[in-house]
Amino acid sequence: MSVFLAGTTSKVDATDWREALCASLSDTPITIYNPYRADWDSSWREDIRFAPYRQQVEWELEKLDKADVVVIYFHPATQAPISLLELGICARVPGKAIVVCPEGYWKRGNVQIVCQKFDQPYLL
């Protein structure tokens, strides 16, 4: 069993949601793919020719596809456009995504409709 952690990467809360989820699953025999990079900074150009960026995106796409489950968290204080893309990528695979989208997220209605249409578990 493997889980990919998609969703908000911005540090907006005192506790990082990825760290909390990883800690809660630490006794479970699963592989967790966490795309968060502490070394990502403003020097990284979002350009296909910038090797570290390209390698990161390719790694994320590979693990997103490989994972049995994708947890997607849409924090209300962020726009998280890549998370919307990640939802779109896995939405057509029944039960692949577990979506957490609290009230206040700017595209919550869209996320709810996509989850309903493609029978994806939706929390909050």
Confidence band for 72, pLDDT divided at 50, 70 and 90:
very high
Tell me: pLDDT of 103 over 90: yes
Query: What is the Cβ-side half-sphere exposure of residue 63, based on CA atoms within 13 angstroms?
Result: 19
Average of per-residue pLDDT across 57-71: 98
Tell me: pLDDT of 14 over 80: no
Global confidence as pTM: 0.93
Tell me: pLDDT of 19 over 90: yes
Domains and their CATH numbers in the chain: 2-123 (3.40.50.450)
**DSSP element (H, E) containing 7:** strand 2-7
Task: Give the sign of the dihedral formed by CA 14, CA 31, CA 112, CA 109.
Answer: positive
Question: How far is Cα 62 from Cα 58, in angstroms, rounded to an integer?
Answer: 6
Tell me: pLDDT of 5 over 80: yes
122-123, strands of its sheet edge to edge: 31-33, 2-7, 69-73, 97-100, 122-123
